[in-house]
Structure 1
């Protein structure tokens, strides 16, 4: 299984299903199962602002209890679309999709960036300690880990 490291609080927001797009400066052709790794890096300041604070709080999270250094969820990467227009409160992707509301606020939808669409997100019951890497990296099979 491939994995991607995401900074906190964004990794947890993906794992909770609150964030369906992970925005990146680069495109991937990969589609399929993907592990969500919470990197050691955390943006504690952003955890104080809306909608991040409320979305985390509704699931019992704050900047103080976000997991770092673990694979925390699995999902399926279903698409990767280029952002072709940013309207300030919404963005248009190259497949015609429009991203708005909380989803828009939870990503960097600058023109030319890429929106990775995830589905079927499942938070792991037991997080897997792992050292993250840049880009997509090989995690192996979740069943290989003692959970």
Structure 2
């Protein structure tokens, strides 16, 4: 796979890639915090891998909402994370907004993000307005970072515990970075083939593990 085809791991099936420039501290709130909704005055039909670019100039307005517990590297003028843009919508209609998050603002388009993976090191790049196409050399550098087997720091995508995290093998359709214990449960369930998705896999493995532990207790 070439970089022009998009990142396959940890985003299987991706065929395109775009970048979005976001001012600090909002960019860090996505890359290193819990922010998964980006508010924009405009929409897009694009869905797929989205590189999070921290703008050179910070937001000088009210950024109280961006305060969170966790790392605050405050990189400027650089790609700092990758995510998947899964949906864009406005908080309108008979059913209201599906976003149950404090990050969603009224009268804006809500860009819903998933599978956020912070880079090990910020990659310097000049931002642009709107969605922009990263250059091939930039894509290659990002690809090398995202496919590294080094553990990343953060909260596990399943148990939410702050532990060293690991990405999926390229052929595994797992949506999150997981800690070692959760990956062990996932791998065990995946080997049996008895699951629908990641949550189901881990739940099945945990149930089987408890059943085995109970059996050992009864037999001992």
Q: TM class, shorter-chain normalised? A: 0.7 to 0.9
Matched, 1:130 2:125: yes
* Alignment: residue pair count: 124
State the Cα distance separating 1:17 from its structure 2 match. Answer: 4.2
Q: CA RMSD in A?
A: 2.2
Stretches of structure 2 that go unaligned for 5 or more consecutive residues are 1-16, 146-220
User: Map of 1:84-99 to 2, 5 A cutoff?
Assistant: 84=92, 92-93=96-97, 97-99=98-100
Question: The residue matched to 1:41 in structure 2 has which SS?
Answer: coil
Partner residue in 2 for 1:42:
58
Pick aligned residue for 1:76 from 81, 84, 99: 84
Q: Of Structure 1 and Structure 2, which has the larger fraction of its residues in helix?
A: 2
Matched, 1:110 2:110: no
Question: The residue matched to 1:14 in structure 2 has which SS?
Answer: helix
Q: Of Structure 1 and Structure 2, which has the larger fraction of its residues in strand?
A: 1
State the Cα distance separating 1:40 from its structure 2 match. Answer: 1.2
Stretches of structure 1 that go unaligned for 5 or more consecutive residues are 86-91
1: CA distance, partners of 2:88 / 2:50:
13
Contact 1:2 1:140 in 2 (8 A): no
Which one has the largest radius of gyration? 2
Question: The residue matched to 1:99 in structure 2 has which SS?
Answer: coil
1: CA distance, partners of 2:118 / 2:124:
14
> Higher relative contact order by CA 8 Å / sep ≥ 6: 1 or 2?
1
State the Cα distance separating 1:118 from its structure 2 match. Answer: 0.5
Runs of 4+ in 1 over 3 A off after TM superposition: 44-47, 140-143
TM-score, normalising length: structure 2: 0.51
